Structure 1
Amino acid sequence: MNLNSIFSDLISKYSDNEILKTDYWQEIEQSYSHKNRKYHNLTHLENMIIELEEVKDKIADYDSILFSIFYHDIIYNAISKDNEEKSAEKAKIRLEKLNIPNEKIAKIYNQILATKSHKKSEDSDTNFLLDADLAILGQDWKTYENYTQQIRKEYSIYPDFIYKPGRKKVLIHFLKFEEIFKTNHFKGKYEEKARENIQRELVQK
């Protein structure tokens, strides 16, 4: 998958500013390719797009979702509590320089904020974005286990006695949801396996 091409085609729908297009892509590529990004990297973006391509016909505003994917983790600092807010703000600042309608920018801003709590939204598109973001939870155990190791490396600044309780809190947060996945498509595809994986990880804590 050529993320640069996807991003370039997306921006071209709204602006013919080649300098901004190049600068914006370089910023995204550099941000997601940082050496500390073991999971929240370009591969994560690719996987989200692959997941959503299956349900593209069910998404009302696919352009907005793509922008949200590219920017939802552009700011990612393991010791920060407001990565989503900063990412949403950066997306807003960048996209305002393109000819993108304000209501679309507001939608992207809110979608990025929604990835903080992953609570069900009244907006169907947002729920598809959230489900794609969590699709890793419903993969086979080997893939899931690799993901947990990547996350641990991203938080390597924290010793186990701090990291493990924090990770446990996140996992229990997901299990407390009536439904981890908000859309019928992803619920049917991943819900059961995700709960099984999370429970298995919790047993190991």
Structure 2
Amino acid sequence: MTQSALRAELSRRWQSLTRAMGADREASQRVGETLLDAYSGPDRHYHGLKHLEFLFGEIDQHSGRISDLHRLELAAWFHDWIYDTQRNDNEARSADTALAMLEEMRVSPNLRERVAALIRMTRSHTSSGDEDDDLFLDMDFAILGAPARVYDQYAEQVRAEFSWVPAELFDAGRAEFLRSVLARKRIFLTEIYEARLGEQARDNISREIDRLEG
């Protein structure tokens, strides 16, 4: 699918979501275009429209397990709205911007606060004890358990997003992050994701660490 076709498909999904929520139509249209512009940026080698498509595929696959579908869909849309590889506060900034934009759309205070809270959780990927939260965090991490070829492409795309970082520094930092993930008792928070993707994720992560440190 071309970038323009994917953008059109995602735009339709956004419109369907905001209509179902009863959000302000004009504000929703404006916010939707802003979101799509952000995810279409030339530096979004991984965290772009395809990442959104991937997340929505995971949400659709597990929609029957999700208690608040609107919340997870909104979190998917906003969680990487701001993605600047030279900063370490992207999640907080994305959450704060989501709060403001959702207020413009006339989304209820309770829902927008809960969306922002979920976005902030993507920084640490630790369980809150809420099944919806854990599912969403696992969906965001699901690329780690992708088939080897897909994972390797993801790793290359992440490197491209950090092209300004010298290779030695990037490799050391990336390996440290991957080792922290591998050191977890379980990579995924939910049983369903751990059973489906845990073993493949460990294989992928170990292979990338070997490459980075080889």
TM > 0.5 between the two?
A: yes
Aligned length: 205
Cα shift readout 1:164-184 (whole Å, capped 9, x = no counterpart): 111011101211221111112
Where in structure 2 are there 5+ consecutive unaligned residues? 1-5
**TM-score normalised over the length of structure 1:** 0.96
Task: Give the residue type in structure 2 aligned to 1:168.
Answer: A
* Structure 1 residue 85, shift from structure 2 partner: 0.2
Matched, 1:44 2:44: no
* Partner of residue 13, structure 2: 6
Shift of 1:17: 3.2
Residue 128 of structure 2 corresponds to residue 121 of structure 1? yes
User: CA separation of 1:55/1:14 partners in 2, compared to 1, >3 Å: closer, same or farther?
Assistant: closer
Aligned to 2:3: none
Residue of structure 2 aligned with 1:196, choices 190, 203, 209? 203
Distance 1:199 1:173 in 2: 12
Per-residue Cα deviation, 1:124-168 (whole angstroms, up to 9, x for no partner): 111111111111111111111110000000000101121111101
Post-superposition offset of 1:16: 5.5
Among 162, 172, 177, which residue is 1:165 paired with? Answer: 172
Deviation at 1:13, TM superposition (A): 2.8
- The offset of 1:46, in angstroms, is 0.7
**Cα offset, 1:99, TM superposition:** 2.9
Aligned to 1:70: 77
In the alignment, the residues of structure 2 paired with residue 76 and residue 38 of structure 1 have an alpha-carbon distance, to the nearest angstrom, of: 11
Q: Which residue of 1 aligns with 2:32?
A: 25
Supply the distance in 1 between the matched residues of 2:10 and 2:40 (Cα, whole angstroms).
13
Q: State the alpha-carbon separation in 2 of the partners of residues 166 and 46 from structure 1.
A: 28
In the other structure, the counterpart of 2:95 is: 88
Contact 2:81-2:94 at 8 Å conserved across structures: yes
Cα pair 1:88 1:113 within 8 Å, conserved: yes
Identity percentage over the alignment? 30
Q: 2: CA distance between counterparts of 1:113 and 1:180?
A: 19
Compared CA separation, residues 25 and 189, structure 1 to 2 (3 A): same
SS at match of 2:119: helix
User: Normalization by structure 2: what TM-score?
Assistant: 0.92
RMSD: 1.2
**Distance in structure 2 (CA, Å) of the matches to 1:141 and 1:39:** 16
Counterpart residue number, 1:99: 106
Q: Unaligned stretches of 5+ in structure 1?
A: none
